Chain A
Amino acid sequence: MILLSILYSLVLILVMVAIWIYMQTRIFQKTVVKQNEILQENLAFNLKKYENNTQKYTFLESYNKELLKKLFGITQDLLIVKKAILEDAINGFL
């Protein structure tokens, strides 16, 4: 009888432990899901930023080429004007 009582008490205690482990797992699952959500949000934000930056970078690459062309054109024109002024000055001097 005593042995039976001990056996059934043991079963009862183990059942309690099983319930406790089950509850712990559930709590862990919830916490982890929340953490993952935060990480996912962070990642999504950074991906969007990366995409924007890439767009900007591509845009600037082409724009910079265009800008350099323009600067080259301005420089060229300025050199031509300089040359004309110098020629004019030399002709006047001669």
Chain B
Amino acid sequence: MNYFICIVLVLFSATISWGQNRAQVYNDSALDIYKTDSKKAIVILEQGLMIAEKEGSKKEKGRILNSLGIVYRDLGEFEKSKELSLESLKNTNDSLIVASAYNNLGVVNRNLGFYEEAVSFLIKALSIYDAKGMMRESAVTNNNIGIVYSFNDVYDKAVEYHLKAKGEFEKLNDKKGASEAYNNIAIVYANNGDLKKALEYFKYSLKLESELKDKKGVAESLNNIGGVYYYLEEVDSSLVYFEKSAELEKEIGNYSGVGSSYNNIAQVLIEKKRAVKAKPYIDSAFVYAQTYKVVEDIQAALQNYSDYYQANNLPQKALEYYKRLTNFKDSIQNLDVKNKIAELEIEYQTEKKEKEILKQRADLAEKERDISEKNSFILGLVGLATVISLLGFLVYNQQKLKNRQLKKESELKEALIKIETQNRLQDQRLRISRDLHDNIGAQLTFIISSLDNLKYGFKLPDNLTAKLETISQFTTATIYELRDTIWAMNKTEISFEDLQSRISNFIEKANSSSDAITFNFRVDQDVDSNKLFTSVQGMNIYRIIQESVNNALKYAKASIINVQFLSKNHQFEMTITDNGIGFNPDEVLGGNGLLNIKKRTHELDAELEIISSENKGTTIRVFKILNT
């Protein structure tokens, strides 16, 4: 049951979060490609925005608006970027999206020249990143703040923030980031005119790039250092670094870079009156620039040729190259226009096709969404049907159980009423019987009293007196028997204590007319002393003991009588022993007393064993008495 509930809850939450996830996927894929294809990224983001709006997810809308802002910033459309990021802030409270929006607003404002606003937004972004412990984002933001200060010529602050960024990059072991931070610091110092400091930080950057084995980075750093040496007028050092840079560019196959470095070398050599050495560098630079069609380098090479020939007192050659330079610049302008038109045409066509593709994709996505919604709906309906079936089953089961229980209860109650009626009837019968016995008891007592009066009041012949004595004794015995029966029938259950006290009373009465007798009543430890017999069982046991004791006193002349109760295999055993003269069982088996004992044993469903021999006492063993 619990398992089923879990599945339903998961399905429910998964359906709700599906829309959000899709918008986020659009956002992430756009951010992956915006550096290389910003227009495609914009189209994807606009699709994502539509989904977010349709799903009513403000968070995703805010995220996508901010991402659009970032892409437009990259395209140089700062005002639009600013608007989008501000709109994003209105839509979401998600701290990470808000921080990203602040960061974007900071960079955009910096580019728009609103430096105070830029710093304000960047500091807000920084405080969120710091609070969240996002060190990388914090380092990037510190770098951005440093750049803003650098633009405002607040060099101390700029260096402070760049150093903070550097520290964070180092903690993250991000050498590339640290190298960029060093570069920024070096640029700040260079702008401030502190070329030695600038040189120092460019060298730090160079060291990190070397550790990273990033040859392109190393080549750029060498070029930067070469430039600083050039401004420091350390021409030789400058040339060494430019040459190293050119070598590395050659190694990595960046020949346009090689051309640029050669142009630098040539320029330095011409300016420092070493024009003779400059010619091969200019030639190579010109060849590379033409091969790779790097316009700036072609122009620099033509300029260097012109300067070179002028330095060598060849004004005509210098003029010729100067003219070629001018013509090239003109042609470039024309070429630029043509290229731009062609590029625009291609761009237009590409964009058109991309739009078509995107439209198809959007249609597909829409269909996918519809199918997914339908599936969710079917799943929901199946779930509903299952739950209703389950509910029906449970209700049916409950009713079935109730009916069964009611039936059982009524059966039990009926049986109970029947048995109670029977019990009441029997109780009544027993009460009548008890009343009858009481009445008979009183009548018998009256008879005895009358007989006694007759005996002592009249002078009767001896034979009649003896007869009256016999009747009186018989009546007395009958009264005792009746009293015992009334005693047993008045009790619901009879305990060992009841039996012991009743027999003790009997022995006491019998003892008064003969010598003293020792009577022992013992219940074995194995027998539960709280054991209770039914009144009939108790009556029969009592009669057996009474008969045995009577025989022991009357015929065996015993002085010690022992009654013992044992327990064997959950059945009782009773043993009555005496130390009397005993008898021969074969001769006296037909006696009334023994017949009575047998009859009572039979009524107890037990077995009887009588062991006796002359002068060796008697043992009467009643065993296998059922444990009720």
Interface residues of B in 394-445 (CB under 8 A from A): 394-395, 397-398, 401-402, 405, 408-409, 412-413, 415-416, 419-420, 422-423, 426-427, 429-430, 433, 436, 440, 444
A58 to B537, CA, bound (A): 12
Which secondary structure dominates where chain B touches chain A?
A: helix
Q: How far is the CB of A12 from chain B (nearest CB, A)?
A: 6
Task: Verify A25–B440 contact, CB threshold 8 A.
Answer: no
Which secondary structure dominates where chain A touches chain B?
A: helix
Closest A residue, CB atoms, query B433: A60
A71 to B381, CA, bound (A): 92
A15-B5, A53-B426 as given contacts; A74 in contact with B447, CB under 8 Å: yes
Task: Verify A11–B8 contact, CB threshold 8 A.
Answer: yes
Interface residues of A in 22-52 (CB under 8 A from B): 22, 24-25, 28-29, 32, 35-36, 39-40, 42-43, 46-47, 49-50, 52
Closest A residue, CB atoms, query B451: A78
Q: Which of B9-17, B199-207, B302-310, B505-513 contacts A (4 or more CB under 8 A)?
A: B9-17
Contact with A12, one of B8, B412, B535 (Cβ below 8 angstroms): B8
Q: Is residue B97 contacting chain A, with contact meaning CB distance below 8 A?
A: no
Contact with A73, one of B423, B474, B489 (Cβ below 8 angstroms): B474
Task: Verify A67–B482 contact, CB threshold 8 A.
Answer: yes
A57-B430, A67-B482 as given contacts; A11 in contact with B416, CB under 8 Å: no
* Count of residues in B whose CB is under 8 Å from the partner chain: 66
A27 to B493, CA, bound (A): 39
Q: Is residue B610 contacting chain A, with contact meaning CB distance below 8 A?
A: no
Task: Verify A11–B398 contact, CB threshold 8 A.
Answer: no
Q: Is residue B272 contacting chain A, with contact meaning CB distance below 8 A?
A: no
A85 to B420, CA, bound (A): 55
A43 to B381, CA, bound (A): 52
Interface of A with B (CB < 8 Å)? 1, 3-5, 7-8, 10-12, 14-15, 17-19, 21-22, 24-25, 28-29, 32, 35-36, 39-40, 42-43, 46-47, 49-50, 52-60, 63-64, 67, 70-71, 73-74, 77-78, 80-81, 84-85, 88
Extra contacts besides A1-B55, A1-B373, A67-B478 (20): CB < 8 Å: A7-B384, A8-B8, A11-B383, A12-B9, A15-B8, A21-B394, A22-B394, A25-B398, A36-B405, A42-B416, A43-B419, A46-B416, A46-B423, A53-B427, A55-B535, A56-B430, A64-B436, A77-B467, A77-B471, A81-B467
